[in-house]
């Protein structure tokens, strides 16, 4: 899953932190602020089984001010294994 954040400041951005289910999994210090989240553990889902995840970012400017984005929710569904 590719995640891209549009973060701006009137002076400069320090970084953007990327979170999935409340845990930071990466950060970016260079615009465009994007990261790829790999669904490794989703391989354990049975066909038709679903799992929901919450993603958000936290933008941090040079002064250390932090702003959290609105969260988005995605659903991942297990796929059928072809014979």
Task: State the pTM of this model.
Answer: 0.83
Count CB atoms within 10 A of the CB of residue 37.
Answer: 16
Please tell me the predicted confidence (pLDDT) of residue 81: 66
Please tell me the predicted confidence (pLDDT) of residue 48: 79
Taken in order 11, 71, 57, 2, the sign of the CA dihedral is negative
- The number of angstroms, rounded, from the C-alpha of 25 to the middle of its chain's C-alpha atoms is 8
pLDDT along the chain (83 residues), means of 10: 89 94 94 86 74 94 96 86 64
């Amino acid at each position: 899953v590719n995640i891209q954040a549009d973060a701006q400041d009137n002076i400069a951005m320090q970084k953007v932190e990327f979170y999935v289910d409340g845990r930071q999994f990466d950060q970016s210090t260079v615009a465009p602020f994007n990261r790829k989240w790999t669904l490794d553990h989703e391989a354990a889902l049975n066909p038709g089984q679903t799992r929901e995840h919450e993603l958000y970012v936290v933008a941090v400017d040079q002064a250390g001010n932090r702003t959290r984005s609105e969260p988005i929710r995605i659903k991942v569904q297990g796929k059928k294994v072809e014979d």
